[in-house]
Each structure stands twice: as structure tokens, then as C-alpha cells.
Copies of this chain bind each other. A is one copy, B any other.
């Protein structure tokens, strides 16, 4: 079986999603198709989730890459991570601000001896490895400045991510985020934290979205995979972790895929734009709808 699942962040059924339903739907369809096409051509799961996330990073209505939320100082601080299940190779960046697609920076780190690089050094590393650099105004758009000015303390989180199982039986997971609108500069959530926002091993691949601090304190992604390794169904494992996040006072969502190609995409918020494709079936996409 070959499978890919994507998400564009758990959060409220916001005016943004309702007013721009078609654009969001189209972005999800394109991200899923990009990943699917690679998988059908025999590419591996790491490349498929990376490309799917890249497409979502380039779409300005999702909170990652181009559409990243701004910090209180009006700057962006982007984070992303990527993990391959077969050997648990991992790469992550936090606090980048010039790399157009942070997931490509994470991919470059995955191929290096390091696992996590932060700040300007991470941008410079990405640049040296061919990841396109952009000026701040690529991210700091009029739309985002309006969002920042309008932001209350209770804002949607949002993040994008993908999980896949390829034809060689390898699982992979990828996550990318702009953080929270109006977050303090220097704040990092769960997205670049291997074990919290992203995890892949031989049993499961997981990408998370939600209240980042609580996802770290619950080690959501690693715990789901460990439960799957021990024989818990993926549906039960993801439910137990979201219940644990809830016990800490938070909400969010996860997408998870296991070694048999089972997918689980639960969330405890109003909405989680998401999509799935399985070899031999039609792709499915949801923007504000329940499953």
C-alpha cells in the first residue's frame, strides 16, 4: 500500500476558511496531488511529504512558509521538521526567517550529521545547501500585518504537515509552521521538536498541530508511535494522545499513518483542513467538514 495524508492546521472554523473555502480546497488538492505523483513514480516517503508540505508552505492562507503568522515584533520565525521512519533520520530548523520553504531547510539538516539547527545559522545552512532565500517582505505581507493588528490573545494556531507510507514500506512525517500570531519572538512550539510535533519510525509516522506547548509536554508524536509499536490501534493511540493534551488544557489534531497503511486524522478543534490519498482510490479533501 502507498498512502499520503496531509493537514493544514487544527483550529476554529474560521472566517478565513469559510470565505476562502475554494482556495483552501484547491491548495490541499494540489499538495496531495504533488505528494501522490511522487509516490506513484516510485519516490520515497520523505520526498513525498517534503513536496506536499512545500506546496502548502507556498499557499498564503496556511500558517507556514509564505503564510506564516507574524511575531509581536512584526517578524516571522519559521520552524519545520522531517523524519524518516526506516532509520529515524531526522532534520529540523527553528527560528528561520529567510528560507522560503523551511521544510527544505529541515531536509538539508536531515541529510547532515545534525538534527536541529536554529536561527540565522539555520538560514545560512539552508542557503549553503541550495534552499532559496527570500527577503522579509515575502513573509511580511499586508494581510499578515492586518492579522497581527487584529489578533486577540486567543488565535488559531495552524501548521501544515504530511505523513506517508511509500512503496518500499518506509514511513515519513513532515511538519512546518509560522507559529502563533503575535507570539513572543524566540518562542518555539512543537513543530520542530522531534517527538512532539513530528515523529516517524518503522511503526508509525505522525505530524501534529495545535497548542504547541502542550504537545511538547505530552510528547504527542513519539507517544502515538510507541503505542502503535506496542499493538495499540492507530485510532486508539491518536485518541489517547489528544485526550492527554486535553487533560493539560489544550486542543489540536494529528495525522498518523502506520506500517500497514492505516491512517488516523483526529482533531479536537472545530476544523482541521486535511486530505488523504491511498493507491487505487480517489484523493479525498476536507476543509471545514467533519470526516
Contacts and interface: CB of A to CB of B under 8 A. Distances in A.
Interface in A181-234: 184-189, 193-196, 199, 212-213, 216-219, 222-223, 226
A186 B222 contact: no
Contacts of A216: 90, 115-116, 194-195
A88 interface: yes
B125 A184 contact: yes
Given A186-B121, A222-B219, A114 B213 contact: yes
Contact of A196 (B188, B195, B213): B195
Interface secondary structure of A, over-half rule: mixed
Contact of A213 (B95, B113, B217): B113
Interface in A75-107: 83, 87-90, 94-95
A22 interface: no
A137 interface: no
Q: Which of A89, A113, A189, A196 has the most CB of B within 10 A?
A: A196
A205 B49 CA distance: 34
A122 interface: yes
A216 B196 CA distance: 11
A219 B193 contact: no
B195 A121 contact: no
B194 A117 contact: no
Given A114-B213, A125-B184, A199-B219, 7 more contacts: A90-B213, A114-B184, A114-B187, A116-B188, A116-B216, A118-B186, A121-B187
30 contacts: A87-B248, A88-B218, A90-B213, A90-B217, A94-B94, A94-B118, A95-B118, A114-B184, A114-B187, A115-B216, A116-B189, A116-B193, A116-B216, A117-B184, A117-B187, A117-B188, A118-B118, A119-B186, A120-B186, A121-B184, A121-B187, A122-B186, A193-B193, A193-B195, A194-B196, A194-B216, A195-B196, A195-B216, A195-B222, A222-B223
